[in-house]
Amino acid sequence: MIERQETATRMSKIVKHNGTVYLCGQVGNVKAGEEVSAGDQTAQMLAKVDALLAQAGSSKEQILQAIIWVSDMKHFQEMNAVWDAWVPEGHAPARACGEAKLARPELYVEIIVTAAYD
């Protein structure tokens, strides 16, 4: 059975199937034209991931894979500093990180998460 949560026309924020939860891409809370650092955006984005995983019955300890996009690799170290402090020791997921043009110019970081749930 597939369970979709917070479904709109274009996407669902959470999709659950066979013990796996898939989150839609998450970004920081940045308004058009606002200047927010990559580190702050990463912290905001990861807080959203925490909330969505909790809603799905999962947690960051159960993340299987994370795909992270940065708008420019100059943000890589700043994003990683926040990421490294957030990931629980011994629970680092499989991860990929690449550079990509994001949906809006003020966005520096986006993450896609797949996790297990109980």
**Percentage of the chain lying above the pLDDT 90 cut:** 95
CA dist., res. 14 & res. 12, Å (int) = 5
- Total domains present in the chain: 1
Q: What is the CATH number of the domain that holds 63?
A: 3.30.1330.40
Give the structural domain span for 43.
2-116
| Predicted local confidence at residue 33, as pLDDT | 82
| Predicted local confidence at residue 34, as pLDDT | 86
Name the burial class of residue 9, with classes exposed (0-12), middle (13-18) and buried (19+) by CB atoms within 10 angstroms of its CB.
exposed
pLDDT tens across 21-66, in order? 999 999 999 988 889 999 999 999 999 999 999 999 999 999 999 9
pTM of the model: 0.95
